[in-house]
Structure 1
Amino acid sequence: MNAVPQPPPSPDEVPLAIAPVADPLQSLTVLLVEDDPVIRASLALPLAKRVGAVIEAGNGEEGLARFREHRPHVVITDLVMPGLDGLALTRAIKAESPATPVVIATGHSEADALIAAIEIGVDRYVLKPVQVDCLLGVLGPLAYTAALESRQKLAAQVFAASSEAILIADADLTVVDANDAFTRISGYERSEVLGLHVLDLDGAIEGEAFLEALWRTVRDTGHWRGELWSRRKSGELYPEWRSVDVVRDADGRISNYVVAWTDISERKEAEARIQYLAHYDALTDLPNRVLFSDRFEQALIHARRAGETVGVLFTDLDRFKLVNDSLGHKVGDQVLQEASRRLLSCVRAEDTVSRLGGDEFVILLPALRTPQDAGRVAEKVVAALARPFRHKGDDLSISASVGIACFPNDGELADTLLTHADLAMYRAKSVGRNNFQFFSPELESGALSRLSLEHDMRQGLERGEFELLYQPQVDNPTGRLLGVEALIRWHHPERGLLLPRDFIPLAEESGFIVPLSLWVLAEAARQVSVWSGTGLPPVRVSINLCAAQLKQPDFAANFARILAEAGVSGEYFELEFTEQVLMQDGERNLLVLSDLKKLGVGITLDDFGVGYSNLNVLRRLPVDTLKIDRSLVSEVTENKDDAVIVDAIISMAQRMDLKVVAEGVETADQAGFFRDRACQEIQGHFFSKPLAAADLPGYLNSLPGVLAQVAG
C-alpha cells in the first residue's frame, strides 16, 4: 500500500533543546538510483529544485559506490535492476548505516519483493509511476528527522567536547548526565554522580543561605550567573564561574536543569598578579611608587595627629651604570636585588623600602622621635651598600649616596619632602658619594639656580652667546703648530664668562649636551673652512666629546653632514673620548668609531693614566692618540711615581705606534721633561693660552718660521 505523507512534528513535539528546523528539504542530500535514464532524469531535475543536492546512479553497484563516497541523507532506489537490485542495495546500505532512510520505488506486481524490502528495513515506498509531489511528501518527514538527528548529534558532540563542566539534571534535580569536562574539573567520574541530587554535589563554600537564594533565583527567573568558590572531590578549593538554566516542556513545566561552570583559577591568578604588579616592583618585590605614595600619605596623616617626625631617605647607587654597561643588565638586576635585601635589613618592620625605578630607592621612616633617628638609619644604609657585591668570585664595589628630608622641618607635603630628599642625595654625590646628607634650604635655592641656568643655556645657544677658543698643540722641540683643541666658553649676559666646568655637567645631566655638541662640531668645521679661505693652511682641531654624543644612533652620519656643509675634510679633526666612555657598550662604540675613521677622523683617548686603565681598549678600538692626563703632567717633575707612570705610557704608546700628547704643560721644566722622552706634542699655557679664532693667524706670525714649516 502507498504510504501517506506525514507532516513534520509540531514545535511542541521537538526533542529537548532542539529548535524547529526551517525548510529541512534545503539541507537534504538525496541519492537517486534508477537504471532507466529517462525516469531518472524526470525525477532528478524537479528534485534538484527542492532539495539541497541530488546524486545520480544508473545501477545498484554504482549506487553503492556513490553512497560510500557521499553518505547522503536519503536513498531512493528502484526495486528491480540488473545486477545489484534494490533489495541487495538496501541490505548493503543498512548493514553499513542502519539509520540512513531508504525509499523503494516499486510497481503493483512486486508485492512479494516489497514485503521482503520491509523486512530488510526499508523506511518508505512509493508506487510507479512515481509522482514528484508524492515523493516530496515522503521526503519531508525523513528530511526533518535527518535534520533533527544531525542537530542532536551536534549537540551531543558539543556537550562531550565542551571545556565547561556540564551537569544535566531532571526536574527533581537528579543528575542524568555529565560530560568529560565535569570529570576533569571536579575530579568525580560520571558514573559516581548519575542518580545523585545536584545539591549533594555542590561544593560551593558560600553557605546554605547563599545556595538557597541561588536556586530560588533559578526557579523564579529560569537562570543564574555568578562567581563562587567550590571544592573538588579532593577537597581542593577553586574559583568557578557558574551558570544555571532551566529547560521547560511544551506545557511550560521544568523538565531539566543545566548546570555549567568554568574553572577560573588561572584567570584569578593573572588578576592577582596584575594587582600585585600595580603596587610592587617586579624585579625586587619592593613596593613601587604607587604603594609608597599611599603609605607616605598615611604616615603623614598619623604624624600630624601624634606630633611625630617622618623621615624619607632618597638612596641612589653609585657607579651602578658602570656595572650595567660593562657586565650587562642581568648582573645589574642581581645587584639591584641584593641591594634591596640589604636595605630591608637596615629598617624596622613598620618602615617601607621602595624602588622608584632604575637604581633609585626610597625609604619611608614613620613615627620617628627626631630627625637624627633618620640619620642613624642612613648610616646603616651607607655601610650596608658599601660592602662589596660578589659576582663570579669577584668583588664589585658599589656604594650609595643618601639624601634625607624629614616632616615637618623640611616640608609638610609628600611631594615636597621627596623632592628635598632628592636634592640632598645629589648633594651627597657632589661631595664624594658613599655618604648621606640632610636637606637644607640652600640646596633648594641651588636647584632653582640650576633650573634657571639650564633655561639660560638653551636660550644662550639660540642667541649666539657661546664661543669656541682654540688652544695650540705644538711640536715640543720647534714650537711648530700641529693643531688646536677647541674649548667652549659661555658669555652669560648676567654671570659673565663661564668656563666648561660651570655648565657642562648640567648640560650632560639635562641632555642639552647633545645639541650643544652638534653646535661645537659645526662651529669648528666652519672655522676650519674660514681659516682655509684666508690662506691659512688647514689646522687640525681636537674636540672633546662625552658618552651622550657617542650614543646617538646617527652621530657619524650627522658629523659627515656637518663636514659636507662646511666643505672640509674629516682628516682635520681629532675627536677625544675618555676611557670610561669608550668602555661603555664597547661593541657598539667600535661600529661608531669605525664609521668615523672612514671619514678620516682621528680618535684620541683622553685623560689617560688616571683611574683604572683597560689596555684592552687600546687593542680593540681604533685609537690613534693617547693624551696624558694633566694631573700627571702637573707633578711629573716633582713626583717620581708620576714620572714613572708617564714614562711607561710614552714607552707603551711608542711600541703600539700611537701618538702621545701631554696636556697642561705650564713650565719650562715640564716641557723639557717631555722633550727628553721624545714626546713631541704638548699643549698648555707654557706655549699659549686659549685663543679666539681671529687671533690664531697672529699667533702663527709670532713664531719665526712657523708658517713655512706648516706649509712644508
Structure 2
Amino acid sequence: MPLAYALVGMVALILGLTWGAMKIQVTLAGFLNGESVWSKAQKQAVIDLQAYASSGSRHDLEGFKTNYALLGYDRWVRDVTASGHYDYNEVKAALSHGNAIPETIPGVVFMFQHVNQAPYMRQALAAWRSTDDAIAQLGTISEELQHAYASGGPSAQEMERQRSRIRALNDFIEPRSDDFSLQIAHGALWMGEVLFVGVLFAACLASAFWLSLARRILARIRGTEDRFQLLFDSAADAIVMVDESHGRILNANRTTSLWSGRDPLELVGMNFQDLFVDGSTRAAGSSTIGMLRTMNGIARTVETHSSLTTWGAQPVRQAIMRDISDRVAMEQERRIGAEAMASVAEGVIIADAERRVTTVNAAHTRITGYTLQYLQHHRFDELRRMPDGSPLPSSIWEMVADGGNWVGEVQSWRSDGSSYPELLSISAIRNSDGRVQHYVAVVTDITRSKADRQRLEYMVAHDPLTGLANRNEFQRHCTHAIETAARTNGATAVLFVDLDAFKAVNDSYSHAIGDRLLVKVAQRIRRELGENDVASRIGGDEFTVLLGGLRTREQAAQFANRLLMSLSEPMLIGDYEIVMSASIGIAGYPLDGSDPVALIANADAAMYAAKTQERNTYRFYTPLMHADARMRLMLGADLRQALMRDEFYLVFQPSVELRSGRIVAVEALLRWRHPERGELMPDEFIPLAESLGLIRRIDAWTMRAVCSQIRQWDQAKLPPMRVALNASAATFGHPGFIDSVKHALQTSQISPKRLMFEITESAILRLGEATEQTMHALHALGIGIAIDDFGTGYSSLAYLKLSGIDFLKIDRSFIKDLPDSTNDMAIVEAMLAIAKSLDICTIAEGIETAAQHEYLLRAGCIEGQGYYYSRGLPASEIERMLSPNPRHETSRLRLVPPKYPRA
C-alpha cells in the first residue's frame, strides 16, 4: 500500500507540474500575442500618421489615435505593474483595451511584476522602454498636424518636415521594436526549455523517491524474512514443517540439516518418517522418542513434539525435535555409577545427616575389614582420628555444611585393631532446601604413597649427587638458625666454599670423574660438621655451610681452617690422585646480614675476594667487597654499551730507533672514555671484557680503527711506518681471525707490512698448537708478529723458534732498574744476545731515563719505547709530529721518514 500511495502521489505531482507548465505556456502565448499586437499597433500608428500628414484625412487620424491609445495602455500596464502599486481591475481593463486574451491576463500581470528581470525579459523591456519618447513624439506630431489642418492646412514645407520627422522616428523605433519581438521570442523559447527541464527533474526526483521507498520497503520485507529464517535456523532444536496430507517435508531448519547430515534442499520432499531408524520410534506421553538417522551411521536420540497449523489453505504439521542424548546418557551414567561404586578401588561411605553409615562399597570392606552390617549402626568418624590422635574437629562438618569439600589425612583402624594412614575426602549431598541430606566419604589407604612422599620430600630438599641439602633447604635451616641466634643473642655464620680450578679437572679427566670428586668433597665437608651445622651444594662446585650455636662470627675461622686442610689432602678417584684447594668466604649474623639471601650473597662476595687475592684461603665479608662486586657489574654493563656508543678511542705511542732517534713505528693503545668515570686504561676493563666474552669484539674494533687511521695518514702524505696492536688469545686463536684480518686490509687498502700484532707469552701457552698455524698465516700475509712482555711468563725459548716471530719486546720490569741492577743487566743482555742470534728485532719497553736509553743503545737493543720519548698521543698529534714541516719538534725525536725493519 505505501508503494501504491507513493505511485499515485508521483503521478499526481507530474500531472500538476504538467498543468502548471501548460498554464505558463498559455501565459507565454498571451504575452507573445500582446507583443504582436503592440508591434502591429506601433507600425500601424506610424503608417496612419504618415498618411494623415499627407492627406489630412480624418479617417487616418482616428486610426492613428486608436493605435496610439493601445500603445499607451500597454505602456501604462508595464510601468504600473513594475511599481507594484496598482489596481488589478484597472490593469485588466487596460489590457482588455489592448486586445489581450482574457485567460492570459493574470499571467501577463505576473510576468510584468515578477519576471521582469528574467533572461531575455529584461532586454525586451529595455528595448520597449527605449521607444517611449519616440512614440510620445508621434503623439506630439499628430497634435501639431491637427492644429495645422485646423488653421487652413500646413504648407508644403511643413508637411515635408513632419513627414521627415515621422520617418526618422520610425527608423528609430523599428529596430528596437524588432529587438523587442526577438527577445520576447527568445524568452518564450528559454522558458519552454526551463519548464521542460523542471518537469523532467521533478519526474526524475519523484521516480527516485519512489524507487528508494520501494527499496526500503522491500529491504524491510526481506529483513523480516531473514529474521524469521535466522530464528528458524538458529533454533537449538530441529524444526520440520510436514505436509499433513502426504507426510512430505516442506521446510527444515539448519539444525535438522546438521543432525541428519543432509542438505536442507535435499530434505524438502522427503517422507518425514524416513528421518528415523526403522522401529526406533515409541510414544512417550504427548511426545515421541526415536532414533534420528544420520549420514555417518551414528543415531541421535530425539524427543519429538508435534502441532498442527495452517499455511494459507494448506494444513501443515510442525515437528520440533529435541536432542535427549545427554539425558539418556545421564540415566545410563547413573546406572554405571551405581555399578562403579561397587567396583571402585577406593573405599566409599554414604552416611545420613547424622553421619551414620548407610552404604559402603566392597573396596571399603576390603581395606578396613568392617562389613556393612557392623557399620550401619555406627558413625563413620568414630573409627577415625586426626594424625595427632584427636577426634575429627567440628570445623570439618561446618566446612562441608557450608558447601565445601574437606580432604585430609587421618588415622584409621581396621577390624583387627591395626591402624593405618588414610586419605579422607568428605562432601555433602543436599536436598532442595540446601540442607545436608547425606555425607559421601571416600577413603584411600596411603601407607605406600606416604612412604613415597617422604622419599620425594627428601629428594626435593637434597642434592641428588652429594646428598647434601639444596639451596631451598639450606635457606630454611639458615632462617631457623637466625631466629635461634636472635633469641639467644648468639651468632651464626654462612661459609661459601668454591673449589679452585675445578674446571680443569672436568676438562683434563672427564665430567664423570668431576662428579665423583664432588661426592668426595661433600663427604669431607660433612665429616667436619658439628651438631648444629648444615652443608649444602647450591650448584656446580659451589658449597655452603651453616654454622650454628656460635658466640661470634670469628669462631667460623677455626672451621674454615680445618675444612681447607681437609680439602687439600689428596683424593683418590679411580686410578687418579687429585689434589684440590678451595676458596672460602664467610658472612655472619648479625654483623653481615639478617636473612639467608643476604648472608649467602655476602659470603659469595667474600669467597670471590679470597679467590681473586690468593686462593686456598678464606676471607670474612666486608662491605667493600660488595661495592667492588657492584662496581664490576656496573662496569660490565657499561662495557657492553661502549662499542655501540663509540666510547673507545686510540692513542699512539712512538717506537724509536735507539741509534738514530727516529720514529720507526707507533703502538696503538686502547682507551675507554667512560661517561661517568672518565678515561679508563686497558688494565681496568680488558680482564672484564675477557670474562664477559667481549674481547673479540673489542679487538675487531681496534683492528678496523688502526687500519682506518693508517689509511688517513697515507692520504695525508705522512712517511709510512709500522703500527703495532695487541691481540688477545681469544682473538688470536679464533678460526675466523685470519679472514677478518684479510677483510680489514682489503677494506682499508693498506699494505700488510704496515701492521704488527703483539701477543703475550701466556696467550701463546693457552693457544697451544693453534699458535704456530696463526703465526705462519700472518707471516705469509707479510704482517709482523711480536712477543709482548717477554720474560714475565713462562719464557720458554721454544717460542722464539716459531715461524713468523719478527720482534721481541722486553718487559718494562727488566728496564726500570737499569743500569743500576746487575741482575736486570744480565737478563737483558742475555735476551738481546739470543734475539740477535735468531735475527729478531728487539724493542725495550718502559724507557724513562737517558741512562736507560744509553745503556740499551750500548747493549745492542734496536728500538725503544717509553715516556722518555713520548707518552701515548692522539692521532692528530702523531700527524703533526710527522708532517713534512712541523711547527716545532723535540730535540730528541728526529723526524726522519721511517723504513721498515726487515720483512
Instruction: Tell me if structure 2 keeps the 8 A contact 1:382–1:435.
Output: yes
1:417–1:302 distance in 2 versus 1, CA, 3 Å? closer
Instruction: Tell me if structure 2 keeps the 8 A contact 1:322–1:584.
Output: no
Q: 1:499 pairs with 651, 676, 681, which one? A: 681
Question: Does structure 1 residue 298 correspond to structure 2 residue 487?
Answer: no
For 2:900 and 2:671, locate their aligned partners in 1 and report how far apart those are by CA, in whole Å: 30
1:653–1:337 distance in 2 versus 1, CA, 3 Å? farther
Superposition deviation, residue 536 in structure 1:
1.8
Aligned residue for 2:737? 555
- CA offsets 1:638-684 (integer angstroms, 9 cap, x no match): 22222222222222333333332211111122122222221102211
Question: Does structure 1 residue 468 correspond to structure 2 residue 657?
Answer: no
Question: Does structure 1 residue 657 correspond to structure 2 residue 839?
Answer: yes
Question: Does structure 1 residue 685 correspond to structure 2 residue 884?
Answer: no
Please tell me the residue identity of whatever aligns with 1:500: P
Superposition deviation, residue 573 in structure 1:
2.1
Aligned residue for 2:175? none
Aligned residue for 2:627? 445
Instruction: Tell me if structure 2 keeps the 8 A contact 1:603–1:622.
Output: yes
Question: Does structure 1 residue 710 correspond to structure 2 residue 892?
Answer: no
Question: Does structure 1 residue 414 correspond to structure 2 residue 593?
Answer: no
Please tell me the residue identity of whatever aligns with 1:485: E
Q: Which has the higher Rg, Structure 1 or Structure 2?
A: 2
Secondary structure of residue in 2 paired with 1:459: helix
Aligned residue for 1:699? 881
Please tell me the residue identity of whatever aligns with 2:788: D
Secondary structure of residue in 1 paired with 2:593: coil
Please tell me the residue identity of whatever aligns with 1:372: E
Aligned residue for 1:626? 808
1:652–1:420 distance in 2 versus 1, CA, 3 Å? same
Instruction: Tell me if structure 2 keeps the 8 A contact 1:292–1:352.
Output: no
Aligned residue for 2:827? 645
1:480–1:498 distance in 2 versus 1, CA, 3 Å? same
Question: Does structure 1 residue 545 correspond to structure 2 residue 727?
Answer: yes
Superposition deviation, residue 393 in structure 1:
13
Superposition deviation, residue 561 in structure 1:
2.4
For 1:302 and 1:278, locate their aligned partners in 2 and report how far apart those are by CA, in whole Å: 17
Alignment of 1:347-426 (within 5 A): 347-348=529-530, 351-356=533-538, 359-384=541-566, 399-426=581-608
Secondary structure of residue in 1 paired with 2:661: coil
For 1:490 and 1:632, locate their aligned partners in 2 and report how far apart those are by CA, in whole Å: 28
- CA offsets 1:241-264 (integer angstroms, 9 cap, x no match): xxxxxxxxxxxxxxxxxxxxxxxx
Instruction: Tell me if structure 1 keeps the 8 A contact 2:478–2:596.
Output: no
Secondary structure of residue in 2 paired with 1:710: coil
Please tell me the residue identity of whatever aligns with 2:605: L
Instruction: Tell me if structure 2 keeps the 8 A contact 1:325–1:585.
Output: no
Aligned residue for 1:509? 691
Instruction: Tell me if structure 2 keeps the 8 A contact 1:326–1:585.
Output: no
Q: 2:665 pairs with 479, 483, 487, which one? A: 483
Question: Does structure 1 residue 579 correspond to structure 2 residue 761?
Answer: yes
Aligned residue for 2:285? none
Instruction: Tell me if structure 2 keeps the 8 A contact 1:481–1:710.
Output: no
Please tell me the residue identity of whatever aligns with 1:679: C
Please tell me the residue identity of whatever aligns with 2:692: S
- CA offsets 1:356-403 (integer angstroms, 9 cap, x no match): 555544333344332112222223344555678999999998654322
For 2:641 and 2:680, locate their aligned partners in 1 and report how far apart those are by CA, in whole Å: 15
1:398–1:626 distance in 2 versus 1, CA, 3 Å? farther
Instruction: Tell me if structure 1 keeps the 8 A contact 2:722–2:754.
Output: yes
Instruction: Tell me if structure 2 keeps the 8 A contact 1:303–1:367.
Output: no
Aligned residue for 2:495? 313
For 2:514 and 2:839, locate their aligned partners in 1 and report how far apart those are by CA, in whole Å: 37
Question: Which consecutive unaligned segments of at least 5 residues does structure 2 have?
Answer: 1-362, 370-454, 884-888
Please tell me the residue identity of whatever aligns with 1:710: K
Please tell me the residue identity of whatever aligns with 2:479: L
Superposition deviation, residue 499 in structure 1:
1.9
Q: 2:791 pairs with 606, 609, 613, which one? A: 609
Alignment of 1:589-608 (within 5 A): 589-608=771-790
Instruction: Tell me if structure 2 keeps the 8 A contact 1:583–1:617.
Output: no
Instruction: Tell me if structure 1 keeps the 8 A contact 2:786–2:806.
Output: yes
- CA offsets 1:168-188 (integer angstroms, 9 cap, x no match): xxxxxxxxxxxxxxxxxxxxx
- CA offsets 1:283-312 (integer angstroms, 9 cap, x no match): xx464xx72432332232243145354422
Instruction: Tell me if structure 1 keeps the 8 A contact 2:496–2:584.
Output: yes
Question: Does structure 1 residue 527 correspond to structure 2 residue 709?
Answer: yes
Instruction: Tell me if structure 1 keeps the 8 A contact 2:651–2:670.
Output: yes
1:212–1:324 distance in 2 versus 1, CA, 3 Å? closer
1:466–1:354 distance in 2 versus 1, CA, 3 Å? same
Question: 1 or 2 for the larger relative contact order (CA 8 Å, sep ≥6)?
Answer: 1
For 2:687 and 2:844, locate their aligned partners in 1 and report how far apart those are by CA, in whole Å: 24
For 2:851 and 2:573, locate their aligned partners in 1 and report how far apart those are by CA, in whole Å: 46
Superposition deviation, residue 329 in structure 1:
7.8
For 1:211 and 1:415, locate their aligned partners in 2 and report how far apart those are by CA, in whole Å: 52
1:281–1:542 distance in 2 versus 1, CA, 3 Å? farther
Instruction: Tell me if structure 2 keeps the 8 A contact 1:286–1:353.
Output: no
Instruction: Tell me if structure 1 keeps the 8 A contact 2:482–2:594.
Output: no
Aligned residue for 1:667? 849
- TM-score scaled by length of structure 1: 0.54
Q: 1:566 pairs with 748, 761, 785, which one? A: 748
1:397–1:698 distance in 2 versus 1, CA, 3 Å? farther
1:388–1:526 distance in 2 versus 1, CA, 3 Å? farther
Instruction: Tell me if structure 2 keeps the 8 A contact 1:326–1:583.
Output: no
- CA offsets 1:380-427 (integer angstroms, 9 cap, x no match): 344555678999999998654322122343223333322212221222
Secondary structure of residue in 2 paired with 1:314: strand
By percentage of residues, which structure has more helix?
2
| Range 345-354 or range 623-632, more displaced | 345-354
Instruction: Tell me if structure 2 keeps the 8 A contact 1:665–1:682.
Output: yes
- Length, aligned pairs only: 449
Question: Which consecutive unaligned segments of at least 5 residues does structure 1 have?
Answer: 1-208, 216-271
Superposition deviation, residue 693 in structure 1:
0.8
For 1:348 and 1:621, locate their aligned partners in 2 and report how far apart those are by CA, in whole Å: 60
Q: 2:718 pairs with 526, 533, 536, which one? A: 536
For 2:853 and 2:571, locate their aligned partners in 1 and report how far apart those are by CA, in whole Å: 44
Please tell me the residue identity of whatever aligns with 1:304: E
Secondary structure of residue in 2 paired with 1:405: strand
- CA offsets 1:501-531 (integer angstroms, 9 cap, x no match): 3333333333333322222121111111111
Secondary structure of residue in 2 paired with 1:472: strand
| Range 517-526 or range 326-335, more displaced | 326-335
Secondary structure of residue in 1 paired with 2:470: helix
Please tell me the residue identity of whatever aligns with 2:483: R
For 2:471 and 2:726, locate their aligned partners in 1 and report how far apart those are by CA, in whole Å: 42
Instruction: Tell me if structure 1 keeps the 8 A contact 2:778–2:804.
Output: no
For 2:829 and 2:840, locate their aligned partners in 1 and report how far apart those are by CA, in whole Å: 14
- TM-score scaled by length of structure 2: 0.44
